[in-house]
Amino acid sequence: MHKIINSTLVALTISIPLIFTTINYELFEFPKFILLLVATIIIAVAWIIDLYPNRKMIISSLPSTLKSLSPISLAILTILSTQFLATIFSIDPHTSFWGYYSRFHQGLLTTTCYTLIYFSAHKYLDYKSTQKLIKISIGTAILVSLYAIAQRFGIDKTLWVQDVVNRPFSTLGQPNWLSAYLIPQLFLTLFMFSTKLKKSSSIIFHLIYSIIFAALLLTKSRSGLIAFTFSYVVYWALLARSITFPKIKKPLIIFTTLSLLFTALIGTAYSPSILPARTILAEDQTISSGTQLESGGTESGDIRKIVWTGALDLIKREPLLGTGPESFAYSYYWTRPAEHNLTSEWDFLYHKAHNEYLNFAATTGLLGLTAYLFWHFAVMRSAFTLVPKSKKARKDQENSLRAYYPVLGASLTGFFVTNFFGFSVIPVYLTMILLSALPATIQSKPTKSHPTPTSHWLPLITISCILIIIFPLRLFMADLAFNKGKAHATANSLEQARTYLERAITLRPGESLYHSFMAETYAQMAAATSSQADQALAIREIKFTSDHNPWHLNYSKSRTKAWLALTTLDPTFYNQAALELENARLLAPSDPKLAYNLGLIYSRTNQVEGSIREMKAAIDLKPDYYQPYYALTLLYETTKQTNLVLPLLEQAESNITPLPEPLQTKLDLYSSN
């Protein structure tokens, strides 16, 4: 069992950063999430089998074991405990358990996985296997970096909407995430350099460092560059404290020179390269599909301030346990500042606060944030530990530990900075969890597995193998079917969409996202064929998402679309569509698009006063919003209130530049009268 757990940890270290697909709804985090589940199940089963022969002794010694927990171990358990409590009281326990769909991280399930992985590494890794794991982690980072460098030369630029040539993201899916993953790998490389046995291997580590650092620079990640700068200072300061400055002076000069040289050659988000621009960058430039916050656009700082303001207001509203892990996409809109409407991303869905710590506080409360910061404190406290000299037999372990503590401090610094301006993802968080366990494992002696009779464990092993294969496989196949169904629905191939979406729901019946798309598909089919059966199915799916997740604005909008499609069969469904948007307006009072669409529905049901009220509300929330100006103009004309049209159009002219042609035509008409 010892070998199985060690091999699984090695497999995780290799596969999680490297894996991605081109066939799922989310191409990067979802396959990593599936592998994380598979590995955790394997570790849990192997651990149970290994511990079972001594179960009575383990149970009796549990109180003393808990008392002897290190601060890092205690912090890991505290995070799990607060996540558990926050999930119980979450506005949507399903999301809080599984994680937000498309991110699959920091829900209770993945937190449980990280906790088991941490303690399994803590128990089963030893000095030798730790060294092996670090080498494998560096080797994986080399592959990730080489792919990023290849992306710079356009190896797969036709596969992505994002400008992968200008800002590679390798196998991580986003440049900022790639930079956050590479930062600790750089310091692990320096760790191996400082503990190398042969001087002839120096050139290899210089080359490895150069490759990884080059990939980091290519991301043009502002948060990544800032994080590396702070981490680099922390690393060498801690190393000098641990080993003495004269011994690190030469490698400090060499690696600093390397870093400055590559920075000058490649450039950063703050400084251009000294080399002439390559022609490939002028070809087929595409705009990043991410938000300005993710892509580092010029408005990112202003948007962050607005999102953080909304997050702070949300924390004040739910201070103790928040609204539930991974529920920010739902609850942010309760307190979303109206200033958000004046940004280029006014109609984007924000599923994160783009500040890990505000996000933790908003979704798990101050209790959750305290637990998370306690882990940071415990890790940094460990990083500042000085290793005293002892017996010669422990010399290798002592030297490794002395060299490793600065890596831990530098990695945590980078983790903090990148998360202050963003949020963590599975590969980055998993790396930090494993790094947190290594101070204990570097000093550990090999752990012997307890002999277990195969026949005795055959039923459990068989059942476990089935679980390992079937449970994650069902999740994977459900996502695959959903993605195909969504693609067919977008292409208006409703019969094919129906087949795949129904398959997804069969495989994973509790996922509201699937039911949301299914409701729209049934409604569109009912409208096209006048089928009462499809109408009934659409209403059933609408009710499912309404009952299981009344908080998600996307589901409210989806239900509204479904009701509107059904109005071709029964005009009274306009009332249901209006009710959906009225409820959505209560959830997101600062959203102008909801007000505008509700005004349109009111106009179709002859609720003219209500329509005028909502159009005015939309304009008040977003003065440069073209559509409600035009709709309100038509409403004034219909109700013979033409005296109000010219002032309205002049208001539009003062807020919208250039004025759209329909409004300009109306303005010219009324100005000439």
- 188-215 pLDDT, tens per residue? 999 999 887 555 578 899 999 999 999 9
Q: What is the pLDDT of residue 283?
A: 40
What is the arithmetic mean of pLDDT over 435-461? 72
Q: Is residue 545 within 8 Å of 559, Cβ to Cβ? A: yes
What is the arithmetic mean of pLDDT over 159-184? 95
Q: What is the pLDDT of residue 353?
A: 94
Residue labelled with tokens 């030469």:
250
pLDDT at 433 over 90: yes
Q: What is the pLDDT of residue 281?
A: 42
Residues 6+ apart with CB under 8 A from 24: 30, 31, 476, 479, 480, 483
Residues 6+ apart with CB under 8 A from 254: 206
Residues 6+ apart with CB under 8 A from 580: 556, 559, 560, 563
% residues pLDDT > 90 (the chain): 78
Q: What is the pLDDT of residue 295?
A: 43
- Token digits for 231? 């981490």
Q: What is the pLDDT of residue 195?
A: 85
What is the arithmetic mean of pLDDT over 502-519? 97
Question: Poorest-confidence range of 138-152, 268-282, 649-663?
Answer: 268-282
pLDDT in tens, 237-288: 999 999 888 889 999 999 999 999 999 999 988 888 887 755 434 344 333 4
Q: Is residue 632 within 8 Å of 615, Cβ to Cβ? A: yes
- Alpha-carbon distances of 456 from 58, 453, 459, 467, rounded to whole Å: 20, 5, 8, 19
pLDDT in tens, 16-62: 999 999 999 999 999 999 999 999 999 998 888 888 776 666 666 66
Q: What is the pLDDT of residue 275?
A: 78
Q: What is the pLDDT of residue 280?
A: 39
pLDDT at 293 over 50: no
Residue labelled with tokens 């326990």:
93
Q: Please, is 62 exposed, middle or buried when counting C-beta atoms within 10 Å of its C-beta (0-12, 13-18, 19+)? A: exposed
Question: Poorest-confidence range of 101-105, 121-125, 269-273?
Answer: 269-273
Q: Is residue 107 within 8 Å of 96, Cβ to Cβ? A: yes
pLDDT at 393 over 60: no
pLDDT in tens, 599-620: 999 999 999 999 999 999 999 9
Residues 6+ apart with CB under 8 A from 121: 9, 434, 437, 438, 441
pLDDT at 664 over 70: yes
Residues 6+ apart with CB under 8 A from 443: 127, 397, 401
Q: Please, is 230 exposed, middle or buried when counting C-beta atoms within 10 Å of its C-beta (0-12, 13-18, 19+)? A: middle
Residues 6+ apart with CB under 8 A from 101: 25, 26, 95, 511, 513
What is the arithmetic mean of pLDDT over 341-350? 90
What is the arithmetic mean of pLDDT over 439-450? 74
pLDDT band at 297 (very low <50, low <70, confident <90, very high): very low
pLDDT band at 294 (very low <50, low <70, confident <90, very high): very low
Q: What is the pLDDT of residue 285?
A: 38
pLDDT in tens, 65-100: 677 789 999 999 999 999 999 999 999 999 999 999
- Token digits for 581? 């948007």
